[in-house]
Structure 1
């Protein structure tokens, strides 16, 4: 058996079956209130996977729910970036994951196989990796460095067996994706180079069919069948199920909706069909948990959808059968992938960011050869509708945070489009751990200094107040010194 497979199998064997649970945020909705509501409804979750939050809040949840298995959903470690170890504070990100996992006793730490920063550019929501052999090799190498960092942190604590297993999650597509590999083969390439586990998100899988593979597979079922034949299902430790919904300006009359990953939206029936198809595959040998992702969702909807998930016979059957399937041959791609220079791949990621932001045309870009199967309308939708809303409104609407300044800019004819051009006007070094609110405030202050310098003093004062409030609510002592 391949040493990487043995390494994964040994780690996975230490993790008990968690069951059917929820992937949740501590605050939205309030986790402890949600848990009480579910208990009162007679549908207590078997486990909880908790999204990144300050240690004090994670410890509070752990103390309040002593008998509930907890797992961790991390953020801020950009494993897709070929320059991760040379150009990002990745060790700090790994240490944050370790502290958080320790606080709740997590057996695994899940992270999207996606990025919000690469090539010197920052985004507010995830962009998927370039689906190429070289990119898969880079992800595998970064994942091994990250797992080693987690192992070392817990070893220094004298608890080497408590280090969580790193899981990579199938990322969503928000209208488009680039690459020359099917996403299933991309993950197979990662699995042959790293002893990590995987999270298969059912809604994310739908977006890959909708925005990248629909021309090859008119049927979702046919696409899923080919995906499952190639994807390394023997590495899947957890399955996610979450809602899909339209962006703010989406047209509900579209014959095939332009759905994107939205945890506040309902789970459509098509995803339950897809879930059953996935759970019925015999190679799903390491499954430990199935979670409904519910952050930002209304509590009554959570109760209804979680009850439906609990009543799905395929879920319990798959969890019970996983130990029996563990003896089946492992999915391995035996042909090793040739390495590619990190610098060349990093340049491609820079081009990717410029194309995704509309600053560079695809036809004249270095990533043009990776646009096979791309829906040009989807890419245009992303950088003309979704991205401007993300930068201006998501995580704090600038018009509401700085109302007087925003009104003054409008009177001068300075628009959100000008801010977008400034944001992606040049690459910037990444010096601090990722927090989109801090990035947004920094860019806004820089922009005002260039576009309306007479308003600079006012904006700096208001931004400093907002930073202080955000720091008080969200930061931890271990990272405060890294903010600039």
Structure 2
């Protein structure tokens, strides 16, 4: 299976910091002299036919690039895609024509049951084929490429036969989809499973990454007293995640970067502060890549 050359990604997001859009911030965002790079929304919040949420988002779409992030497609589901959900997603995408559409490498549905979690999949050939087929179906129906996000995980499957980075690389190569790199997820999973986040990122197909997510996490202990991180999205980005972000940007150059904050949502100035921290890093790495490119030209 391979990507369909007819799939398009529409216009790209700017290589700046964006924020997860919350309607309570709308007035402040519009009035702020600081213009956030882009806004991202969860598709499932806009699957109704109309009403106040759509009126607000339509207004925001006039001033800011938009990214749509799905959390309920259940691309890893062993029972196939929910066709009704896919049609609702298509309606949202057609309505807002976002710069990017993304989903999770996870599953959250089984038969008629919906779980309020993004659950992991085993990394084996059978699951790889199934996920690729589901990504292919989504892209065919939407008529465009999507981005697939790496998961945060707390358990591993005995059935796993390949590394997560290889599994994700194979999905991108077979389907032509892009990747969304959630750096907080990398740190959370690496801590929970006892491997190195830097080593993971060294093996990740960064050339396929088109957007980055940053978020906060909660710290806990497991039953054996070892560190356990929870991808909580309820606090500022951790310093260790900022350092990993710098390492990634040094290799990729600037990429659209979302600040995710979905629980205990703060006032807009706090989200703005996090976005400014990301923008400062993006600007610095843009300068470094410009200097490096100039040096390479002079060396020829």
Give the shorter-chain TM-score range: 0.7 to 0.9
Number of positions where the alignment pairs a residue of Structure 1 with one of Structure 2? 281
2:298 — aligned with what? Answer: none
Alpha carbons of 1:268 and 1:167: their partners in 2 closer, same or farther (altered >3 Å)?
A: same
Deviations 1:446-480 (A, max 9, x none): xxxxxxxxxxxxxxxxxxxxxxxxxxxxxxxxxxx
3-state SS, counterpart of residue 110 of structure 1: strand
2:169 — aligned with what? Answer: 188
How far apart, CA to CA, are the structure 2 residues paired with 1:209 and 1:7? 35
Q: Does 1:317 pair with 2:286?
A: yes
How far apart, CA to CA, are the structure 1 residues paired with 2:287 and 2:240? 19
3-state SS, counterpart of residue 245 of structure 2: helix
2:228 — aligned with what? Answer: 258
1:436 — aligned with what? Answer: none
For residue 129 of structure 1, the aligned residue among 101, 109, 121 is 121
How far apart, CA to CA, are the structure 1 residues paired with 2:288 and 2:94? 26
How far apart, CA to CA, are the structure 1 residues paired with 2:238 and 2:225? 15
Question: Bigger radius of gyration, 1 or 2?
Answer: 1
RMSD (Å), alpha carbons:
3.1
3-state SS, counterpart of residue 280 of structure 1: helix
Unaligned 5+ segments in structure 1 are 152-163, 325-484
Q: Does 1:16 pair with 2:8?
A: no
Deviations 1:92-125 (A, max 9, x none): 2222112112232202211111111237754211
Deviations 1:167-198 (A, max 9, x none): 1111111x323223221111012122111111
Alpha-carbon deviation of 1:265? 1.8
2:206 — aligned with what? Answer: 233
- In terms of fraction of residues, the more helix-rich structure is 1
Unaligned 5+ segments in structure 2 are 294-300
How far apart, CA to CA, are the structure 1 residues paired with 2:208 and 2:55? 29
Decide whether the 8 Å contact of 1:78 with 1:117 is kept in 2.
yes
Alpha carbons of 1:303 and 1:107: their partners in 2 closer, same or farther (altered >3 Å)?
A: closer
Alpha-carbon deviation of 1:277? 1.1
1:77 — aligned with what? Answer: 73
Deviations 1:10-38 (A, max 9, x none): 735x42342323342434xx24035247x
Alpha-carbon deviation of 1:294? 2.2
1:45 — aligned with what? Answer: 36
> TM-score, normalized by length of structure 1?
0.52
Alpha carbons of 1:99 and 1:21: their partners in 2 closer, same or farther (altered >3 Å)?
A: farther
Deviations 1:263-292 (A, max 9, x none): 1122110000011111112xx48x751111
Deviations 1:274-317 (A, max 9, x none): 11111112xx48x7511111233212431322221122246752
Equivalent residues in 2 for 1:381-460 (5 A)? none
> TM-score, normalized by length of structure 2?
0.81
Decide whether the 8 Å contact of 2:235 with 2:261 is kept in 1.
no
Further displaced range: 289-298 or 254-263: 254-263
For residue 93 of structure 1, the aligned residue among 49, 69, 85 is 85
How far apart, CA to CA, are the structure 2 residues paired with 1:17 and 1:276? 20
Alpha carbons of 1:177 and 1:36: their partners in 2 closer, same or farther (altered >3 Å)?
A: farther
2:296 — aligned with what? Answer: none
Decide whether the 8 Å contact of 2:181 with 2:212 is kept in 1.
yes
For residue 298 of structure 1, the aligned residue among 256, 266, 270 is 266
How far apart, CA to CA, are the structure 2 residues paired with 1:228 and 1:260? 20
Q: Does 1:66 pair with 2:62?
A: yes
Equivalent residues in 2 for 1:237-386 (5 A)? 237-246=210-219, 250=220, 257-281=227-251, 284=252, 289-296=256-263, 297-299=265-267, 300-313=269-282, 317=286
